[in-house]
Amino acid sequence: MSAPHDLSPAAERFSADQAVAAGTDFAELKAGRDGLFWNEFRPRDGACRIWQWRNGQARCLTPDGFSVRSRVYEYGGRSFCLGENEVFFVNEADQQLYRQVLDGGQPLALTQGERRYGDLVWAGKRVLAVEESGKEHRLVAISQGRREILAEGADFYASPTLSDDGQRLAWIEWSRPDQPWTATRLYIREANGEVRCVAGDQGPAQSLQQPRFDREGRLYCLSDLNGFWQPWGETAQGWQALPSCDADHAAAPWQLGASTWLALDDGYLATWFEQGFSRLGLRKRDGELTTIDSEYSRLRCLDLDDHFIYAVAASPLHSAAVIAIDRRDHSVQVLAGGVQPLPAERISKPRGFSYPSGDGEAHGFFYPAMNGNKPAPLVVFVHGGPTSACYPVLDPRIQYWTQRGFAVADLNYRGSSGYGRAYRQALHLRWGKVDVEDACAAVLYLAGEGLIDPYQAFIRGGSAGGYTTLCALAFEDVFRGGASLYGVSDPLALARATHKFEGDYLDWLIGDPERDIERYRERTPLLHAGNIRVPVIFFQGELDAVVVPEQTRAMLKALKDNGIEAEGHFYPTERHGFRTAANLAHALEEEWKFYSRILDQP
């Protein structure tokens, strides 16, 4: 076969710049009387802007100098809401709440100071929001010149939700050391001022998310009490599970404001996962299910009006798009996005695979190299989180690799969301073990299938995926090299420096930093840098508040001091997760060049 670093004409036509440019994404879809609105991120300038679609036309509402993005809990979410001929949003630069009239004019600040806002909801002349002030969090209502505290005392809040008649307010809260995907509580405040916990305060731990009211004011919520995130609600028999399939109807709530299901008068609309692929359907109260089939393999950000179901959707052939599905005949109209950066025949399509690993089974998606040669060199992608997931959709970064003769394995290792609570809980006290085990087992499995060359395998990941990468390189002898993008190299240092939202996460993933100190030492790549005998490349944002740059510098120095080929790239304006197109393209190309040099070595 030709060497992977020898660019074919096809590879020359799909550069790192093109791969990044195809990475436009959408979020926070909202339908209202003034049309459909969404938040659009374009790597070109790293900004997020609100768009309005009405009468078949789309226009950008966000003026230059503004970017719509919340940083509550660092990961933000639901950074805008619709009012009456107006939109309210969180400006990324100062994290303050702004009001913008749809008919024109500059946005006007409604708040000021050191507080952050997110999870915005319009509630009749007021905006409900999660407010972050230092390490304090609360629910507040904000109107012109007035701020009212709605709930405080818990460590974290999410999902303020108001019934249509304004009489019932629901929300999610949780307390340390729990995470929103391990144990939360559903609260409601009635019109008479009574506040009570509806679910999550008694019995087995459960994670609740996305509370909803129907038009009659009945409350519903997703709960994983029965093993999967499924709809529960108020019924004549009390708080009960609604008819559903045994599947997760949501992903782990790392960001605020997810919308993967909606309560309807006669049932609900929902997405759910089947072996990592999204499905969409309408289920009536009696359990009757009507599936809505389409080419899309991931659907999120659901909303609807009388005529259409709206979603952000992606498929193996098209990048993220805003779509409208006709509620009568289920025909699909693409309103924005949906780029296909390469001809269909040149796109490497995901093949779901499950494989044995350790004492269980793991899952992933395999993308064959597009030069047709087998066995191919392999790049193993490890997602962050670690309680997150990858999806079988067009990822221009993956296509960048497959165009250059590499196969890609995108893994949902044990601990990923989308496969039920038990699978998600598999990382408990075993981070740095089962995820590494699954990454190594994937190489052996794919080699056994004759799909890849096990002696030309690389591993790469960002954040928590960077930790798995470094552990795999330090404790196993499977990979020729790897890349850590803002990855964790010292969990103890992370525990001391990270933010409140993840302040106790390492206790769950590894153990108590004092009582289980030996376990930490055993799983700290920085302390075992001497075990790494293969080249490693690092990418790090200087403004990262989750994995601070000092971690990456320490790991890079340790490898160089040991005589290992190591390379570091630091970006002054980037935070946790890169956003600027030039930096994204630079990192992608430098990583490819790095692996190519390794494959040239005897």
Assess if residue 293 is contained within a domain.
Answer: no
Ordered strands of the 238-241 beta sheet? 208-213, 219-223, 230-235, 238-241
Residue 517, pLDDT score:
95
Instruction: Work out the pLDDT band at 2, boundaries 50, 70, 90.
Output: very low
Task: Based on the fold, state whether residues 250 and 347 are members of the same structural domain.
Answer: no
Assess if residue 301 is contained within a domain.
Answer: no
**Alpha-carbon Rg for the chain in angstroms:** 24
List the single range of 8-12, 125-129, 308-312, 421-425 with lowest mean pLDDT. Answer: 8-12
Task: Based on the fold, state whether residues 247 and 354 are members of the same structural domain.
Answer: no
φ and ψ of 500, to 5 deg: -60, -40
Mean pLDDT of 14-28: 88
pLDDT above 60 (res 155): yes
Residue % of the chain over a pLDDT of 70: 98
Q: Are the beta carbons of 86 and 101 closer than 8 angstroms?
A: yes
Task: Based on the fold, state whether residues 234 and 97 are members of the same structural domain.
Answer: yes
pLDDT in tens, 126-144: 999 999 999 999 999 999 8
Residue 554, pLDDT score:
92
Q: Examine the fold and report which residue of 234, 259, 284 is the final residue of a domain before the chain moves on.
A: 259
Q: 310 exposed, middle or buried (CB, 10 Å; 0-12, 13-18, 19+)?
A: buried
Q: Which one is predicted more confidently, 272 or 497?
A: 272
Task: Based on the fold, state whether residues 103 and 234 are members of the same structural domain.
Answer: yes
Task: Based on the fold, state whether residues 374 and 255 are members of the same structural domain.
Answer: no
pLDDT in tens, 399-444: 999 999 999 999 999 999 999 999 999 999 999 999 999 999 999 9
Assess if residue 174 is contained within a domain.
Answer: yes
Task: Based on the fold, state whether residues 232 and 360 are members of the same structural domain.
Answer: no
| Enclosing domain of residue 421 | 342-600
Task: Based on the fold, state whether residues 354 and 222 are members of the same structural domain.
Answer: no
pLDDT above 70 (res 6): no
For residue 377, give the CATH number of its domain. Answer: 3.40.50.1820
Mean pLDDT of 294-314: 97
pLDDT above 50 (res 256): yes
Task: Based on the fold, state whether residues 382 and 236 are members of the same structural domain.
Answer: no
Residue 12, pLDDT score:
55
For residue 221, give the CATH number of its domain. Answer: 2.130.10.150
Instruction: Work out the pLDDT band at 212, boundaries 50, 70, 90.
Output: very high
- Alpha-carbon distance of 267 to 377, in angstroms, equals 48
Whole-prediction pTM: 0.93
Ordered strands of the 169-174 beta sheet? 156-162, 169-174, 185-189, 195-199
Number of domains in the chain: 2
pLDDT in tens, 503-512: 899 999 999 9
Assess if residue 467 is contained within a domain.
Answer: yes
Instruction: Work out the pLDDT band at 10, boundaries 50, 70, 90.
Output: very low
pLDDT above 90 (res 546): no
Q: Examine the fold and report which residue of 227, 243, 259 is the final residue of a domain before the chain moves on.
A: 259
Mean pLDDT of 528-553: 93
pLDDT above 90 (res 568): yes
Q: How far is CA 535 from CA 267, 378, 411, 523, in A?
A: 55, 16, 22, 20
Task: Based on the fold, state whether residues 252 and 369 are members of the same structural domain.
Answer: no
Assess if residue 307 is contained within a domain.
Answer: no
Task: Based on the fold, state whether residues 107 and 210 are members of the same structural domain.
Answer: yes
Instruction: Work out the pLDDT band at 602, boundaries 50, 70, 90.
Output: low
Residue 23, pLDDT score:
81
pLDDT in tens, 76-119: 999 999 999 999 999 999 999 999 999 888 999 999 999 999 99
Report the mean per-residue pLDDT for the chain.
Answer: 94
Query: 37 is written with which tokens?
Result: 């609105």
Q: Examine the fold and report which residue of 259, 277, 292 is the final residue of a domain before the chain moves on.
A: 259
Assess if residue 188 is contained within a domain.
Answer: yes
Mean pLDDT of 236-254: 95
Task: Based on the fold, state whether residues 358 and 479 are members of the same structural domain.
Answer: yes
Assess if residue 14 is contained within a domain.
Answer: no
Task: Based on the fold, state whether residues 532 and 407 are members of the same structural domain.
Answer: yes
Residue 1, pLDDT score:
35
Assess if residue 294 is contained within a domain.
Answer: no
> What is the 3 state secondary structure string of 181-214?
CCCCEEEEECCCCCEEEEECCCCCCCCEEEEEEC
